[in-house]
Amino acid sequence: MTELEVFEGDITTLKVDAIVNAANEALAGGGGVDGAIHSAAGPELLQACRSIGGCPTGEAVITPGFKLPSANVIHTVGPIWRGGQSGEPELLASCYRASIQLAETHGLRSIAFPSISTGVYGYPLEEAAAVAVRTVRNAINKASTLEKVIFCCYDHRAFNVYRETLNSK
């Protein structure tokens, strides 16, 4: 059975098989968690991302973690919030499913997710947490090799929202 956990802190410090990067479609680094991951991993991460060439919204790609404590980085592109009527919940769920599928394909046992799309992309935190928890639970119920999934929250508000969502669903 896969353990689900909520952690408050910096995702770049976690020693897991993969951390998930809330990336942009160009995989070019940016602000928020994306910038923090690129900064901590070193310039090799940007070179690896450039060699991939990009990633459409809702999909995921994998690179080594380079200078990070995690061996891998799974990059996924979340949707920009446009009010919820433009397929945002489906695209966000696809990010989590694609990331877990990639982890499974690579035989990974532990993965940590940030709160995808809730920063500059503007996705409401409570709604994003509900999609994340529901999607991850459904994905790991299908013979998962994952032993641990961590929802890593950078601040206390997000930590509380994810903890409440995890405990209530």
Phi, psi of 104 (to 5 degrees): -65, -45
The enclosing H or E element of 97 equals helix 88-105
Local confidence band at 1 (pLDDT 50, 70, 90 cut-offs): confident
Active site (annotated) includes residue 34: yes
Token pair in block for residue 13: 């410090």
Q: What pLDDT digit, counting tens, does each position of 101-158 carry?
A: 999 999 999 999 999 999 999 999 999 999 999 999 999 987 678 999 999 999 999 9
CB 125 within 8 A of CB 118: yes
Return the C-alpha torsion angle 31, 59, 101, 146, nearest 10. 20
Whole-prediction pTM value? 0.97
Kindly list the structural domains of the chain, giving each domain's residue range(s) and its CATH number in brackets, ordered by start: 3-168 (3.40.220.10)
Sequence-distant (6+) residues with CB within 8 A of 142 are none
